[in-house]
Amino acid sequence: MKLKNTLGIAIGSFVAATSFGALAQGQGAVEGELFYKKQYNDSVKHVEDGYNPGASIGYFLTDDVSLNLTYDKTNHTRSNDGTGHQKIKGDNFGLNAQYHFGTVGDALRPYVSGGVAHKSMTNVIEDGHSGRDQSTFLTAGAGVKWYITDNLFARAGVEADYKLDNGKWDYAPTVGLGVNFGGNGGKVAPAPVPAPAPIAEPEPEAPIAEVVRVELDVKFDFDKSVVKSQYMPDINNVADFMKQYPATNTTVAGYTDSVGPDAYNQKLSQRRADAVRTALVNQGVESNRVAAVGHGEANPVASNATEEGRALNRRVEATVQAEAK
């Protein structure tokens, strides 16, 4: 790979990285990298150290672990130690896993890696071999990535390759430039918000019934039980109310002043109550809805020491109450 081609790919990668601003690191991300390494070829004889350009692509299985395919090309390398200064070529393929320390979004993320590689390299003809040497290596490495932006990073590290064929090691310090895109940015999808529990509608309050009532207060002359005509409109009003509210009942209570014997006053109060009850029945109220009770001179509403007070005590009272329609 020529240097101008490598620079072209690097510049193209940088331009591409600036196009992924909306993308991020983390699980599901893809990293592509161009790298250049100093290759110490200690596992083979008569081959000088070289400089290998390469590329890799990786996928983040988690926010911290990526799986990477790598390729680099043996270049700028010749045989040494009097073997004719032969140009050595080769192709190296690898598969490794990287574990990144820190958290997604950190500018610096150290890493360690391990994997396997297959290398194909031209044999030194002066050693009596032709064709290419095919070898398998176990690889281990460590380094650090610097995330210049969320999507552009630089890397520096070192890799050690153990050659299974002869038990010898190669080493390669490496620098690289890469792009990172398509991850979740380390963000965990928020748990679904449960739907709010339905708010129970309060039971409608029973309407408060309006109570309506009428009162009756009929006054009597001394020692009389005759209903005077002036009270008939009041009696008619009570009768109409009870007919409007047929579920109502009432008790009319008769009273006297304190003049006269108690027994006589008791009978007089009963006659007065009966007179008002009869007037209500005559106005159309069913007789079984009206009771009459005499209380004599009990429960005075005024003093019996004066004529005015005694006039107020000679009375019949009634109250009728109902819920308004």
Shared domain for 45 and 173, answered yes or no, is yes
Distance CA 218, CA 227 (A): 8
Shared domain for 317 and 275, answered yes or no, is yes
Q: Of residues 225 and 82, which shows the higher confidence score?
A: 225
Task: Give the CA dihedral 35, 40, 44, 50, nearest 10 degrees.
Answer: 60
Instruction: For residue 229, give every residue at least 6 positions away whose Cβ sits within 8 Å of its Cβ, in sequence order, or none.
Output: none
Residue with tokens 């979740």: 184
Shared domain for 175 and 215, answered yes or no, is no
What's the CATH number where 246 sits?
Answer: 3.30.1330.60
Residue 68: pLDDT over 70: yes
Domain termination site, one of 181, 203, 232? 181
In a domain, 157, yes or no: yes
What is the length of the chain? 325
Q: 42 is written with which tokens? A: 């200690």
- Mean pLDDT rounded to a whole number for the chain: 84
Q: 145 is written with which tokens? A: 């990535």
In a domain, 295, yes or no: yes
Shared domain for 25 and 159, answered yes or no, is yes
Shared domain for 146 and 10, answered yes or no, is yes
**β-bridge pairing 250-254 and 315-323:** antiparallel
Shared domain for 76 and 23, answered yes or no, is yes
Shared domain for 113 and 221, answered yes or no, is no
In a domain, 199, yes or no: no
Shared domain for 36 and 110, answered yes or no, is yes
Provide the phi-psi class of 200: left if phi over 0, else alpha when psi is between -120 and 50, else beta. Answer: beta
In a domain, 267, yes or no: yes
For the chain, give the percent of residues with pLDDT over 70: 85
- List residues bridging with 37 in a β-sheet: 52, 174
Residue 271: pLDDT over 70: yes
Q: What are the pLDDT digits (tens) for 149-163?
A: 888 899 999 999 898
Residue with tokens 């010749």: 78
pLDDT band at 283 (very low <50, low <70, confident <90, very high): very high
Q: What are the pLDDT digits (tens) for 155-205?
A: 999 999 898 988 888 888 999 999 987 766 555 556 788 888 888 788 877
What's the CATH number where 150 sits?
Answer: 2.40.160.20
* Structural domain of 251: 211-323
Residue 274: pLDDT over 70: yes
In a domain, 202, yes or no: no
pLDDT for the residue 15: 46
Q: 192 is written with which tokens? A: 């679904």
Residue 100: pLDDT over 70: yes
Q: What are the pLDDT digits (tens) for 49-65?
A: 778 899 999 999 998 99
Domain termination site, one of 181, 196, 227? 181
The number of folded domains in the chain is: 2
In a domain, 194, yes or no: no
Distance CA 167, CA 135 (A): 11
pLDDT for the residue 20: 43
Domain termination site, one of 181, 196, 231? 181
Shared domain for 37 and 96, answered yes or no, is yes
pLDDT band at 18 (very low <50, low <70, confident <90, very high): very low
Residue with tokens 């001179």: 297
In a domain, 176, yes or no: yes
Shared domain for 233 and 271, answered yes or no, is yes
CB atoms < 10 A from the CB of 189, how many? 6
In a domain, 205, yes or no: no
Shared domain for 97 and 220, answered yes or no, is no
Average pLDDT over residues 262-266: 94
Shared domain for 243 and 166, answered yes or no, is no
pLDDT band at 70 (very low <50, low <70, confident <90, very high): very high
